[in-house]
């Protein structure tokens, strides 16, 4: 029996990373799901990532603990910085938002790279997309290309000729297109979580940038939004 190709998939339990995991599964990869408790405001996304890994039959789901709260500099890791609410789309793309976590994707991809090399996995999947890279520097296509170049310079696998690919299949899709892709792949988006600042009961706030983009995506896709919102 031919063995499946292995892939490490970065999973936040959100809409984008879940769609990416479903794409990797569709394309015949054995899934190794990787999430992080990095000092973010809440753990709901990790609960969602566990649900997603189970639903998409990942061979393993690993959660790594790192403390980016010590570094701070982001509304997601520093309680002194408020999460922006009810912003207009133009405001979301006007500069780098305070929800940017310094070097987060570089840190996450570095862990994913180490695990991929240990697993002899030639692919790392990440759910960055066109709506994100307008504001987040580590979501841009040129960043993904640069990290892939680094990955093949800095690893034993790369030096010995086993090329490692960073796969970002959502980069040029809108949220609506991502949702339609996921629906076609059978994703139940009710198990996912996108909110930056959920309530103590775990409900999505309905007002942060991530919630607003999620709502807009479902509306434009013509798909009912299964998210339970605290407001709006």
Domains delineated in the chain: 5-188 (3.40.50.620)
User: 29 near 6, Cβ under 8 Å?
Assistant: yes
pLDDT band at 93 (very low <50, low <70, confident <90, very high): confident
The mean per-residue pLDDT over the stretch 129-141 comes to 80
Q: What are 155-172's pLDDT values in tens digits?
A: 999 999 889 999 999 999
Taking only the tens place, the pLDDT of each residue in 109-119 is 999 999 999 99
- SS3 of residue 26 by DSSP: helix
pLDDT digits (tens, 9 = 90+) for 180-205: 999 999 999 999 999 999 999 999 99
CA–CA distances in Å: residue 148 to residues 6, 12, 69, 104, 142: 17, 21, 27, 16, 10
Distance of alpha carbon 130 from alpha carbon 93, whole angstroms:
11
Express each pLDDT in 17-65 by its tens digit.
Answer: 999 999 999 999 999 999 999 999 999 999 999 999 999 999 999 999 9
β-pairing, 60-65 with 123-125?
Answer: unpaired
Q: What is the model's pLDDT at position 132?
A: 64
Per-residue tokens: 62: 């690993």
Q: Which helix (H) or strand (E) holds 125?
A: strand 123-125
pLDDT at 125 exceeding the cut of 60: yes
């Amino acid at each position: 029996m031919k063995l499946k190709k292995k892939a490490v998939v970065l999973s936040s339990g959100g809409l984008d990373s879940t769609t990416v995991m479903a794409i990797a599964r569709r394309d015949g990869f054995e899934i190794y799901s990787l999430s992080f408790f990095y000092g973010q405001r809440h753990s709901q996304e990790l609960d969602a990532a566990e649900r997603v890994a189970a639903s998409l039959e990942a061979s393993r789901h690993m959660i790594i603990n790192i403390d980016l709260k010590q570094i701070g500099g982001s509304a997601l890791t520093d309680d002194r910085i408020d999460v922006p609410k009810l912003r207009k789309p133009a405001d979301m793309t006007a500069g780098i938002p305070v929800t940017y976590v310094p070097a987060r994707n570089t840190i996450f991809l570095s862990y994913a790279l180490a695990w991929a090399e240990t697993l002899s996995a030639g692919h790392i999947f990440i759910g960055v997309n066109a709506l994100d890279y307008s504001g987040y520097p580590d979501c841009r296509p040129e960043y993904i290309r640069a990290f892939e170049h680094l990955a093949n310079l800095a690893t034993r696998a790369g030096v010995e000729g086993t090329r490692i690919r960073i796969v970002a299949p959502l980069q040029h899709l809108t949220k609506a297109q991502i949702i339609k892709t996921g629906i076609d792949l059978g994703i139940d988006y009710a198990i996912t979580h996108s909110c930056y600042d959920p309530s103590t009961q775990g409900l999505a706030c309905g007002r942060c940038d991530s919630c607003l983009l999620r709502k807009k995506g479902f509306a434009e896709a013509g798909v009912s939004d299964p998210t339970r919102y605290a407001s709006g």
